[in-house]
Copies of this chain bind each other. A is one copy, B any other.
């Protein structure tokens, strides 16, 4: 059994760990609320951009999870952190603009743009493809929140952000730089927000490559939960070896 007391910072991936949208994974609410009650640091690190952090907080609170906006690290925050000046950022996305504007990013709706930032976008269309393509052939840098092939919308499999990214890459011949997990940009942003020494940090994730290997680079204690898309068989194929494997957060007794 793990002695959870020794950890001071608890980092959670969102999808497959806290919820399988729209349902909270059993135990996630109890664990997070309890951690905050006893004064532990809680962070959510996610590539999710369909909702702004503000609206994500609302959705999580509706489901009984007491979280603050500042406890969420998403690709919008990471991009904002990595801007050097007042670059004009053209955004493809559902609600990423909201987050970026809150971080005082210079978001533009038209050309010229210095950066194209592609996030998940269920209102994606050809017009947006044309606009982003023009930004890229005119020299904009290209960042992506995620390269996911697919995504679960409720129980429905739908194309992930990666599909949109590939459309832009193909026509423009410009390769996107990933800013979400498991990029070094995201890892730096995580480390910046973790208040405890590495030895006192535990990371919960459901994907071996995107979560476990990622957190091991930061030398955190890693817990692989099987409540998301990862399956036990994946362990043989992967180099990422978690410190602990649990069925879900339900098994965390604190």
Residues on A close to B: CB < 8 A?
121-126, 129-130, 133-134, 137, 149-150, 157-160, 162-164, 166-173
Task: Select A167's contact among B123, B130, B134, B164, beta carbons within 8 Å.
Answer: B164
Give how many copies assemble into the complex: 2
Neighbouring B residues of A121 by C-beta, 8 Å: 126
Neighbouring B residues of A150 by C-beta, 8 Å: 133, 171
Most chain B CB within 10 A, of A125, A167, A170, is at: A170
Neighbouring B residues of A173 by C-beta, 8 Å: 149
Q: What's the minimum C-beta distance from A170 to chain B, rounded to whole angstroms?
A: 4
**What's the dominant secondary structure at chain A's contact region?**
helix
Neighbouring B residues of A162 by C-beta, 8 Å: 170-171
Neighbouring B residues of A130 by C-beta, 8 Å: 158-159
Q: What's the minimum C-beta distance from A126 to chain B, rounded to whole angstroms?
A: 4
Indicate if the CB atoms of A163 and B158 lie closer than 8 Å.
no
Neighbouring B residues of A172 by C-beta, 8 Å: 159
Task: Select A122's contact among B126, B137, B149, B167, beta carbons within 8 Å.
Answer: B126
Neighbouring B residues of A170 by C-beta, 8 Å: 149, 162-163, 166
Q: What's the minimum C-beta distance from A150 to chain B, rounded to whole angstroms?
A: 6
